[in-house]
Amino acid sequence: MRVVDVIAGILKREGVRNLKCYPTTVQIEAAAAIGIRPIVCRQERVGVGIADGFARVTNGASPSVFTMQYGPGAENAFPGISTAYSDSTPMLLLPLGHARGRDRVFPMFSSVDSYASVTKSAEQINVPERAADAMRRAFHAMRNGRPGPVLVELPEDVAGAEVSEDMLAGYTPVKRTRAQADPQDVESAAEALVEAKRPVILAGAGVLYAEATGELRELAELIQVPVLTTMEGKSAISEANHPLALGVGSSVMAGPAYHFLRDADLVFAVGTSLTDHGLATRVPGGKTIVHATNDSVDINKNYAADHPALGDAKLVLRQFIDCCAERVKGAERDKSVQAQVAEARKAWLDEWAPKLTSDEKPINPYRVIGELMRNVPAAEAIATHDSGNPRYEMLPMYLCDTPRSYLGWGKSHQLGTGLGLAMGAKLAAPEKFCVNFMGDAAFGMTGLDFETAVRENFPICTVVLKNSTMAVETNHMALSHEKYGTRDVGGEYADIARALGGWAKRVEEPGEVGPAFLEARRVTEEGTPALLEFITSEEMGYSHPRPFG
């Protein structure tokens, strides 16, 4: 067998059903030959975004893989992979490499060298006989510990080399391994949690990847502790229906999350790195911190952990449930915190109701978010934002429901990422109404890949909040815009979507927003990608921007 055929066979044994890709690489033909469907994007960074969205929604049930050619293909994929790395998305990258002997020589682009900083592991199959071992190591790294992208580069000459069929015959799929935290660490942390007067739980993406949302709810209800989530952890608890859900904490925060985190005496951070960056949930000083994560690098990185616990979120939360149950001994916990959460949520939503229902023209973007929530049940949708204003508006205001019904991202700010994520989500969950919110600038980055949704039969709904400006840069580019119009952008996006084979509608009247969503949903259910172009204002009404320093 050729090495490339061995790799294709390993992919199939590991449960890979499709191959996100952009030509030219021999891996595409080898995969197609054994029934793995190639999904061809228009540009590599969007293809990586499709792989990213698929990985988040399937959560490893079917491994997500992207392959591309050496040189330009590998170079163009870098932005998407850096986003996946910053958000800890598990996926396998299979770039073709230059033939041995001329790789790693200027000006040849080396994927192994260049991607080392944005992957969990990066390895070249430099000897044909090592192909299966390299793939085994890659799947192990992808599935175990902190999630993230892994890379295996296949040099062009190695791809066609002949190896024994025994290499594939002897390959065994990689199993996932998980570990509990030290019981003594959990005991002391659980005691602090039960004894705290105003504790909150901060749930990150690790809760979603560990499939620990049930344990999160069970612990919160057992000891009546309200829950907020990180940007990437949004949807770990139902914001629409759970009485202890506070909403998202990020550089913009839901009102209840802001107030309860500010007043908390203890923060139990689980499944989050607690990294201090521009879009993170900042924890105010003076609080006891319980930090449970599966990566020791995160503990004491930016915050001193009073009670660290190292282990898988699902197993660690079960340990906390057992320890806390022993301490409360079946006694009914005070449920008054639920009334406090409800009161805070009502006050916050009442404050924002004028924007969510605004009749102003141009359309207020918050009206668009409000109409989506009123017309499409959150449990039947998967929503995501894009960088800039759409992220700041969607993150706090869109009330998600079931796990993975919202894809939060953005530690690495690649405009246009949401389009690929929505396509990957639709590939993973075809029954869902998958919608991505973009601005003018984001559409300019990746909008032509709307044709990929048409061609590959991913009937998503793309929302373009068209205000013809880079509104998020208003304060940063005041003088240059006044003198030279540097924030102005334009285009007729509905016309572009129709030209690319999709269904599209331009909406200028606030009263037409809700019906437009219903029409778009009908169209997508019939199998056609939809684009809604809403003519919106330059609204920048952030909720608690950059709180706590």
Taking only the tens place, the pLDDT of each residue in 35-90 is 999 999 999 999 999 999 999 999 988 999 999 999 999 999 999 999 999 999 99
C-beta separation of 170 from 135 below 8 A: no
Residue 543 has pLDDT above 90, yes or no: no
Residue 312 has pLDDT above 80, yes or no: yes
- Dihedral Cα 311, 230, 87, 465, nearest 10 deg: 160
C-beta separation of 79 from 47 below 8 A: no
Q: Residues 525-532: what's their mean pLDDT?
A: 98
Where do the structural domains in the chain lie, given as residue ranges?
Answer: 3-169, 183-340, 357-535
> Comparing C-alpha atoms, which of 70, 26, 21, 71 is closest to residue 46?
21
| Tokens representing residue 292 in the block | 């449970």
Give 277's pLDDT tier (boundaries 50, 70, 90).
Answer: confident
Provide the pLDDT for residue 539.
Answer: 78
| Tokens representing residue 533 in the block | 């172009």
Residue 104 has pLDDT above 90, yes or no: no
Dihedral pair phi/psi, residue 3, rounded to 5°: -55, -40
Look at domain 357-535 and name its CATH class: alpha beta
Least confident range of 331-345, 370-384, 522-536: 331-345
Provide the pLDDT for residue 195.
Answer: 96
Residue 387 has pLDDT above 70, yes or no: yes
Look at domain 3-169 and name its CATH class: alpha beta
Give 279's pLDDT tier (boundaries 50, 70, 90).
Answer: confident
Residue 251 has pLDDT above 90, yes or no: no
- Dihedral Cα 185, 187, 189, 190, nearest 10 deg: 150
Give 476's pLDDT tier (boundaries 50, 70, 90).
Answer: confident
Q: Do domains 3-169 and 183-340 have the same CATH topology?
A: yes
Give 544's pLDDT tier (boundaries 50, 70, 90).
Answer: low
Whole-model pTM: value is: 0.96
SS3 at position 144: coil
Matching residue, tokens 């994520």: 421
Provide the pLDDT for residue 547.
Answer: 73
Q: Residues 469-497: what's their mean pLDDT?
A: 90
Give 542's pLDDT tier (boundaries 50, 70, 90).
Answer: low
**Domain 183-340, second-level architecture:** 3-Layer(aba) Sandwich (3.40)
Nearest-angstrom CA–CA distance, 272 and 298: 8
Question: Exposed, middle or buried: residue 8 (CB in 10 Å: 0-12, 13-18, 19+)?
Answer: buried
pLDDT digits (tens, 9 = 90+) for 172-226: 999 999 999 999 999 999 999 999 999 999 999 999 999 999 999 999 999 999 9
What ranges make up the beta strands (E) of 495-538?
Answer: 503-507, 530-535
Look at the alpha carbons of 342, 346, 352, 357 in this order and tell me if their dihedral is positive or negative. positive
What ranges make up the beta strands (E) of 156-251?
Answer: 199-203, 227-229, 245-248
